[in-house]
Structure 1
């Protein structure tokens, strides 16, 4: 444990250049005051917010932590179209707290160029005009030490390997990237990038070494185009951006890592998401980024790179696969998930050993999406209805008398629908989450459904039709009426419940 005491917020000194992303997508997170106490105790040098929360900004005024605030995506269009809206935003969200709160970065939007809908494409074209409007607003107020930028994902690149082949996407290179680089160069700001080695490694673990992704590789990779040698995956990712910018004539724009990290847990088919790897990645990252003089990258050695680790807490209300809710350094109660030293001063060998990971190899078996055990039935019912109305998800099998009607419970019906929805939409970005009502399992849920007898009596015949349901399978049996009385007393047993005919 690295929380020995809580420092007083007033006069506290941040001793690290490492920043932390402070997301708030959780319903069990500490109060803003407690969160700022934790940031201060952890010696966080910078904190990045995903909005301009006035309470958090007010509390940060008592610290020496440098702050990055964000204009949210839905605000970009108005700011781009109207200078007075930009002026008002800056007055309300910057001037109200500056300079007591050490706002040093103002980010316009979040991964804007990753949205490819019609509305998203309009946001692309509004992005740089909005950045210019905000810069004019700050200049009018004589504020010159706040850098304007926008965090982008690695998908802005059309080519990234080898790094020397780095090239921006053709659909944004002229209309967005070119004007943006011109703005960043003129204002001496940073190209903010969200860079996660976990994703390329987890998508291709056979060809990318896990050690290479975790900064502990013993082998090197040589870029045939540049002749540069690489010892880790993050350097490769960053240099691909440097080469892409250089090809457009901007070889001197500094990089800043807006987000990076490693998930401490995830779904069963998300390999390598565990505490051991998360601790290894972040400890090595911090050690590397706090080294003096700076290490830089092979393409740009000895250049400091401002870095924000993602994230402060595990956030249980984030959508997407399980890893999305497990990037935190801390549990929601404020206790550390693993020991970390953001100053980079603690030798890596001094950290206590962690249990060896068990999921570094991709899972090869089947996975089902089922309702969580403690899910609220009203919420489950609403989620079930939502899924039934999406595309080709058919819920006809759940109708009374149909093959998946039994067992008759909202949870079991929801599990059937969740699995059906996920199977149909997972390749299109559909997830097994449903606002926390669903989870993945490697156990076939149909094997655990309790068998139920449905007996239909046909008065016009001498037979009774018995329909036996087991999970989503059924068997039919005609029984003479005289035998029905015997069957009626039969006790049906299952591993979960007992039923009587």
Structure 2
């Protein structure tokens, strides 16, 4: 039987996306991750070349089942077994796979019949992947799925947090599964986007310092709970905590599958702000003992920074392609230490 270290730790991870036509090779990319002392890496697929390159490295690995594979796996345990064998067992245990994420933001698009079917098949696919992993005697790989904050109907104040009505029937079996397997609710959570919307769209004026995790003298008190918030990230995380509790699940673990700050392309998107956000994020999430959030004090929240490189082939707004920690030549866009050394950044 193969037993792994605990998956919950304070080691900071980095998302390794490859939607660019000018990016360093996988070999060079793994070397850069090691140089940066990244504790975790998240892949948006389960690429064999990259998994081979990660063999023997002191990096915990998260791999992904593509959205278009979900319904097939949900319907057929043999397909799940085959996927696990090809992408985990053939590289195991020399590659330190810790998380398998099934899909990507599956609940964000359920307007078509096909998308809705994928969303309905999600938990069944997760169960089949987990069953295939357990059948190999592996007990410490967690299965989850990353969800975007657009699943929320309300996030402020945090105690008012609630999921959109149209996804609550989908959320219940997911929460039941995550809770039952002691996995994590993986969140793609971006204070930048909430801050940007507050400035440009809603004119509510969330302060930049609050969004950048600068804890100085500013705070917000939840009128219902009395909990005091010193940054926007904690507010957003705790809104999910309260939304889950409203559905009867008040102790589901949280993980951050994506967070970061763009360094170019829009209001507030500067190298300085990106450096401040990520340095403060690393400091907060690397603390021992863990800080957690006001509603979850002391909780360990596995965290992945978005992203290793700027990706010039991504669609979307100007900022969409400008979240990278590194330039295409491997040089840093701005200086940031993935391993926190005790210095306070604010």
SS in 2 for 1:96: helix
- Distance in 1 of aligned mates of 2:314 and 2:188: 17
* Structure 2 partner of 1:257: 256
Contact 1:16/1:342, CA 8 A, preserved across alignment:
no
* Structure 2 partner of 1:137: 132
Report how many aligned residue pairs link the two structures.
332
- Distance in 1 of aligned mates of 2:82 and 2:122: 18
- Distance in 1 of aligned mates of 2:128 and 2:288: 37
SS in 2 for 1:193: strand
Determine whether 1:201 maps to 2:200. no
Determine whether 1:339 maps to 2:338. no
Contact 1:16/1:43, CA 8 A, preserved across alignment:
no
- Partner residue of 1:215 out of 208, 213, 216: 213
* Structure 2 partner of 1:11: none
SS in 1 for 2:53: helix
- Distance in 2 of aligned mates of 1:313 and 1:166: 33
Contact 2:10/2:285, CA 8 A, preserved across alignment:
no
- Distance in 1 of aligned mates of 2:130 and 2:333: 39
Which has the higher relative contact order, 1 or 2, with Cα contacts under 8 A spaced 6 or more apart? 2
* Structure 2 partner of 1:278: 274
SS in 1 for 2:14: strand
* Structure 1 partner of 2:47: 53
RMSD: 1.4
The Cα shift of 1:127 comes to: 0.6
Contact 2:42/2:304, CA 8 A, preserved across alignment:
yes
Of residues 38-47 and 242-251 in structure 1, the stretch that sits farther from structure 2 once superposed is 242-251
- Partner residue of 1:29 out of 20, 23, 31: 23
* CA displacement 1:103-147 (0-9 Å, x = unmatched): 000000000100133121111101111101111111111111110
Determine whether 1:93 maps to 2:102. no
Long gaps (5+) in structure 2:
1-8
Contact 1:16/1:343, CA 8 A, preserved across alignment:
no
The Cα shift of 1:16 comes to: 6.9
More helix by share: 2
* Structure 2 partner of 1:163: 158
SS in 1 for 2:327: coil
Spell out the pairing of 1:5-404 with structure 2 (5 A cutoff): 17-118=11-112, 119-174=114-169, 176-205=170-199, 206=203, 207-217=205-215, 218-266=217-265, 270-345=266-341, 347-348=343-344
TM-score, length-scaled by structure 1: 0.65
TM-score, length-scaled by structure 2: 0.94
Contact 1:21/1:309, CA 8 A, preserved across alignment:
yes
The Cα shift of 1:62 comes to: 2.5
* Structure 1 partner of 2:3: none
SS in 1 for 2:186: strand
Long gaps (5+) in structure 1:
1-14, 352-501
* CA displacement 1:277-326 (0-9 Å, x = unmatched): 10010001001111111110000101111000000001111111111110
Contact 1:68/1:106, CA 8 A, preserved across alignment:
yes
SS in 1 for 2:257: strand
SS in 1 for 2:187: strand
The Cα shift of 1:348 comes to: 4.2
The Cα shift of 1:346 comes to: 5.5
Q: Which runs of 4+ in 1 moved over 6 A?
A: none
SS in 2 for 1:276: helix
- Distance in 1 of aligned mates of 2:10 and 2:94: 20
